[in-house]
Amino acid sequence: MLKIVIAGASDAMIEKLHTLALVNEMRIEIAANAIDCIDKCRSRKPDLLFVSIELLWGGAEGVVEVLREECSHLPPIVLIGTPSATVPAELARPPVVAFLPESSSFAELLSMLRTSRCMVHRSDEIDTQTPLTL
């Protein structure tokens, strides 16, 4: 089961991810701010982290910096934000793997989850055959 932490996402994004998780055997934990996100990452060791660029109490930059310092294995991180958000240069490298606008469709989220699942399982090829459903 894929474990996902979502930090600072809009209610609409959380609802979409929660819907996808219910039908695709994924477990989601919601973090309200950077401190909560770091605590959940320490205790739950997620396979994937969605974090808002504008996350309260430290932002995505603070979360990524702490995780880089503390963790030997970092989960793939997907940044989320407004469509006009700018990804800071220090976040434009692994473990950050993508940026998704808050307005992403189910299809875009599904594609990101497929890609991320491959990263988690260290597959060289994106698995488009294993069903993830809407």
Q: What is the pLDDT of residues 32-79, one digit of tens each?
A: 999 999 999 999 999 999 999 999 988 899 999 999 998 877 889 999
| Enclosing domain of residue 6 | 2-120
Torsions phi, psi for 16 (to 5 deg): -65, -45
Provide the whole-model pTM.
Answer: 0.84
Domains of the chain: total: 1
In a domain, 70, yes or no: yes
In a domain, 126, yes or no: no
Q: Is pLDDT at 132 greater than 70 in this prediction?
A: no
- Fill in the amino acid letter for 33: N
- In DSSP terms, 2 is beta-bridged to 26
Percentage of the chain beyond pLDDT 90 is 45
Calpha distance 20→40 (Å, rounded) = 21
Q: What is the CATH number of the domain that holds 105?
A: 3.40.50.2300
